[in-house]
Chain A
């Protein structure tokens, strides 16, 4: 393992402290319990949005704390859900009286810890669970689909509504709509290495890829020989379109997300392939996002998310945002 590391026990604390210093104009980092919050207090009457999850997906979620997006983020250990006391402390710190909406990715550990945090927090609160990963079959008696890259879009769009004075109920409703309108699927070329483990999470041949991979290197649909980008992108889009079934005249946001180890050059190539394929199928792309937003440490690979947009979603996507990882309009 080759990583910038001093010792394992301090890995997360040192990284969070550096993150706090690098973006001290936007956020504060609290340690023990760990949470990232906005530098400025949540304004009275504004619903507070709190997300969180295991670390290793940076910039998600700490990088999305700031105007127009989250009010706080709770980072767990690498790939492990954060603990309920973090959610409780973050909620107490940011709630301005309008209530707290927890945004949770559908992983068992995240669900349980956020539930406990919500039970421990005495103020008004509610939760939404994202589950955009179409690689996994949805079912009511299983854990179901994973919450992955579309969580970024949910946080941006609901963050805008909260900034504009939306109520807790309205924020939850919009978040659920965005989640339902989004589909994601990823592919990995290499494994990631959890610092505490010191070795790659999974073995994969030089000529192989994991199709439908999750954001922790957990396996996906199948292991295949690597193919041309157009073929890979075509297969991913087929799975997403099967699931989302966008209408011909519907507007869509196309989000190409890097897993951490793939250069932007390749991500833009993926974007171009995806645009061509979608155009040939009559699917309109009106908004774009390309970059490393929901990563899996140093894994090479990418995910593609398609989000069907109505006017409400488009308006909140375009509105100003100022966070460490996403900034426009201000």
Chain B
């Protein structure tokens, strides 16, 4: 993981999120209030715009700047959660040394753990954590494998299955929790956007 990797991933994710924005907006209007897609798009735009100011910085500093930008520029639950994610990654030890696959996995795992604590949400509550926690568990299995690219295909599969599984769940956290039974039958918009992000990044790593 490097600063240029982060910037190029942010650009690819921005493209994919923009292509799927109508779908995410509709999902959020069904069980939320419709702000999720605008928050995610605003956050990605702000991160992509950071390119010139972070491209020559050490990784820890760049991650910290991304965290602060996300935290202060998005708002809502997504801002707090993704801000926490990047802030935790920035605090990882030894970021001045080479960050290989194993180390990158550990950073992502600790970032997702911090999100879980911030949002106090676990698997089965119809939120983005339904996708992120299983992905984090899979990365924990994969991190020491040399043939990790094969394993990333499984990560893609897990993210998709878990995203789809939110459809029949009752929501107990977040704004959809106010709906009771009426939340059933709709995929969680945060689970969908998280799955798209994981899908994009994994595919890019596999193809490089």
Complex: A78 Cα to B38 Cα, angstroms: 11
Binds B, one of A95-103, A162-170, A213-221, A310-318: A213-221
B75 near A136 (CB under 8 angstroms)?
Answer: no
A80 near B75 (CB under 8 angstroms)?
Answer: yes
Whose C-beta in chain A lies nearest to the C-beta of B68? A85
A33 near B72 (CB under 8 angstroms)?
Answer: yes
Whose C-beta in chain B lies nearest to the C-beta of A33? B72
Complex: A77 Cα to B77 Cα, angstroms: 12
A62 contacts partner chain B, Cβ-Cβ < 8 Å = no
Q: Tell me the dominant secondary structure on chain B's binding face.
A: helix
A112 near B173 (CB under 8 angstroms)?
Answer: no
Q: Given A77-B35, A196-B38, A202-B29, are A218 and B175 also a contact pair (CB < 8 Å)?
A: yes
A214 near B178 (CB under 8 angstroms)?
Answer: yes
Residue from A115, A136, A142, A201 with most neighbouring chain B CB atoms (10 Å) = A142
Chain A 132-190 residues near chain B, CB threshold 8 A: 135-137, 139, 141-143, 146
B80 near A217 (CB under 8 angstroms)?
Answer: no
The bracket for how many chain B residues form the interface is 20 to 34
Whose C-beta in chain A lies nearest to the C-beta of B29? A201
B76 near A109 (CB under 8 angstroms)?
Answer: yes
Complex: A80 Cα to B118 Cα, angstroms: 17
Complex: A35 Cα to B171 Cα, angstroms: 33
A108 near B175 (CB under 8 angstroms)?
Answer: yes
B179 contacts partner chain A, Cβ-Cβ < 8 Å = yes
Interface size in chain A (residues, C-beta < 8 A): 39
B172 near A84 (CB under 8 angstroms)?
Answer: no
| A81 CB, nearest partner CB in chain B, Å | 5
A218 near B76 (CB under 8 angstroms)?
Answer: no
Complex: A84 Cα to B81 Cα, angstroms: 12
B39 contacts partner chain A, Cβ-Cβ < 8 Å = yes
Residues of the A chain whose Cβ atoms lie less than 8 Å from the Cβ of B80:
81, 84, 109, 112-113, 115-116
Cross-chain pair count, CB within 8 angstroms: 113
Q: Given A80-B39, A108-B173, A141-B172, are A85 and B71 also a contact pair (CB < 8 Å)?
A: yes
| B83 CB, nearest partner CB in chain A, Å | 7
A1 contacts partner chain B, Cβ-Cβ < 8 Å = no
| B174 CB, nearest partner CB in chain A, Å | 5
Whose C-beta in chain B lies nearest to the C-beta of A201? B34
Q: Which of A112, A135, A218 contacts B33 (CB 8 A)?
A: A218
Residues of the A chain whose Cβ atoms lie less than 8 Å from the Cβ of B180:
137
A76 contacts partner chain B, Cβ-Cβ < 8 Å = yes
A82 contacts partner chain B, Cβ-Cβ < 8 Å = yes
B25 contacts partner chain A, Cβ-Cβ < 8 Å = yes
| A155 CB, nearest partner CB in chain B, Å | 21
Contact flags (1/0) for B27-48 with A, using CB distance below 8 Å?
0010011110011000000000
Chain A 214-248 residues near chain B, CB threshold 8 A: 214, 216-220
B182 contacts partner chain A, Cβ-Cβ < 8 Å = yes
| A298 CB, nearest partner CB in chain B, Å | 15
A121 contacts partner chain B, Cβ-Cβ < 8 Å = no
Contact flags (1/0) for A41-78 with B, using CB distance below 8 Å?
00000000000001000000000000000000000111
B79 contacts partner chain A, Cβ-Cβ < 8 Å = yes
Q: Which of B34, B71, B173 contacts A142 (CB 8 A)?
A: B173
Contact flags (1/0) for A9-47 with B, using CB distance below 8 Å?
000000000000000000000000100000000000000
B151 contacts partner chain A, Cβ-Cβ < 8 Å = no
| B74 CB, nearest partner CB in chain A, Å | 7
Could you write out 26 A-B pairs with CB less than 8 Å apart? Answer: A85-B68, A85-B71, A85-B72, A86-B72, A107-B175, A109-B77, A109-B79, A109-B80, A112-B77, A113-B76, A115-B80, A115-B118, A116-B71, A136-B177, A143-B172, A143-B173, A143-B175, A143-B178, A194-B34, A194-B35, A196-B38, A197-B25, A197-B38, A201-B29, A219-B178, A219-B182
Given contacts A81-B79, A197-B25, A197-B29, 11 further A-B contacts (CB under 8 A): A54-B76, A76-B75, A76-B76, A77-B35, A80-B79, A81-B76, A83-B79, A112-B119, A113-B80, A194-B33, A218-B179
